[in-house]
Amino acid sequence: MSQASLQRLKNALHEIYAFMTMTKSSIVGVIIVVGYIFIAFVGPYVVPIRLVGTFEPNLPPSLDHLAGTDHLGRDLFGFIVHGAMQVIVLATMTSLITTFLAVTIGTAAGIVGGKANAFLTFCTDVMLTIPGFPLTIVLATMIRGSPNMLLLASVLAIIGWPAQARSIRSQVLSVKNRDFVEASRSVGLGTAYIIFFDILPSLAPYIVISTMRAMINAIYSLVGLSILGALPYDETSWGIIINRAINQGHALLVPAARTALIVPLVAIVILQISVILLSSSFEIMFNPRLRDKTLRSKKKREGQTE
């Protein structure tokens, strides 16, 4: 890699860092997301997990047990740490597959038009009329014995792409007749060039935010399916922890056992809030008006502090 390329990469990373740390909420979101990623990929090598209970059951969080213990006397923090990777990896894969399907189908429908547009729109409308979560339960149950995470992510993506594809189609229809797109057509540039260099860059803010939203929905679906027992049984799954707390630990009836119910729920909520805060950073990065407004607010605050 040449010196100029390294400098451009360095400048791009510096700009991304500046946008990610422009607001306090963005900083909080970045820190929490990075913390979850660190816990998911490094934590299992540091924090042990005990599948056999060796402590007193239903202990509250303390210095000895950061997340308390479950009804079998097992340390919950180890289960939360070891289950974080499944949630993050599956949510990320699902959101990427969902966005890929939505962008491909929505862009094709908006650009091609005619019968292709009518057919793709009809398929999207049909998918929208099918209850999403019950369909996911049926499909997830059919592949319950498969440990393939890509297959599971594809199943979870089925309920997410239709609404997103319809929105992207509407965005494409509004963008494809703008002046800069017409200018590209007038000089003889092909459809592929117009899609990848004119239309999709214009839709980048919406696509990024939609991807973040798809990730949040994927977390809901993953945990919900695990609670219902529609996914392969995994001791460390956050949904399975909630399932055990309710059905075996009787957390809804026994106050002391509610720690095993509350801890994974808090972990899920914090992860989702951090993703929302992170999405606001990307929105500032891609939206010129919002970026300028944020910069003016930041400079105003800095002037007041001085």
Does the structure show a pLDDT above 80 at 146?
no
Q: Which of 8-17, 28-37, 137-146, 214-223 has the lowest mean pLDDT?
A: 8-17
Q: What is the pLDDT of residue 100?
A: 92
Task: Report how far residue 56's alpha carbon sits from residue 189's, in angstroms, rounded to the nearest whole number.
Answer: 71
Cβ atoms of 65 and 81 within 8 Å: the answer is: no
Q: What is the mean pLDDT of residues 9-26?
A: 69
The C-alpha atoms of residue 152 and residue 54 are separated, in whole angstroms, by 34
> How many CB atoms are closer than 10 A to CB 185?
14
Query: How many beta carbons lie within 10 A of that of residue 110, not counting itself?
Result: 23
Banded pLDDT at 251 (limits 50, 70, 90):
confident
pTM of this structure: 0.81
- Tokens representing 297 are 């607010």
Neighbours of 18 (CB within 10 A): 11
Report yes or no: 137 and 228 within 8 Å, Cβ to Cβ.
Answer: yes
Question: Longest Cα pair distance anywhere in the chain, in angstroms?
Answer: 75
The string of pLDDT tens digits covering residues 82-138 is 989 988 998 899 999 999 999 998 888 888 878 888 888 888 888 888 777 777 777
pLDDT bracket for residue 37 (50, 70, 90): very high
pLDDT classification of 149: cutoffs 50, 70, 90 = confident
The share of the chain scoring above pLDDT 90, in percent, equals 9
User: Pick from 274, 261, 263, 262: which is nearest to 215 by CA?
Assistant: 274
Handedness of CA 111, 115, 121, 123 (dihedral sign): negative
- Going from the N-terminus, what domains does the chain have, and what CATH number goes with each? 13-305 (1.10.3720.10)
The pLDDT value given to residue 156: 82
Banded pLDDT at 298 (limits 50, 70, 90)? low
Residues 6+ apart with CB under 8 A from 15: none
Q: Name the DSSP letter for residue 153.
A: H
Q: Which range among 22-31, 38-47, 50-59, 206-215 has the greatest average pLDDT?
A: 38-47
Given this model, what pLDDT does residue 296 score? 67
Nearest Cα residue to 120 out of 84, 71, 169: 169
**Average pLDDT of span 191-202:** 82
11, pLDDT greater than 80: no
What's the pLDDT score for residue 270?
92
Tokens at residue 291, please? 């970026």
In this predicted structure, what is the pLDDT of residue 38?
92
Confidence of residue 157 (pLDDT cuts 50, 70, 90): confident
Confidence of residue 139 (pLDDT cuts 50, 70, 90): confident
| Per-residue pLDDT, 291 | 63
Q: What is the mean pLDDT of residues 167-179?
A: 85
List the single range of 159-163, 242-246, 290-294, 300-304 with lowest mean pLDDT: 300-304
pLDDT of residue 222: 84
Cα–Cα distance, 45 to 11 (Å, whole number): 35
Mean pLDDT for the chain overall: 81
pLDDT digits 0-9 by tens, 42-94: 988 888 888 777 788 888 888 888 888 888 888 898 899 998 998 899 889 99
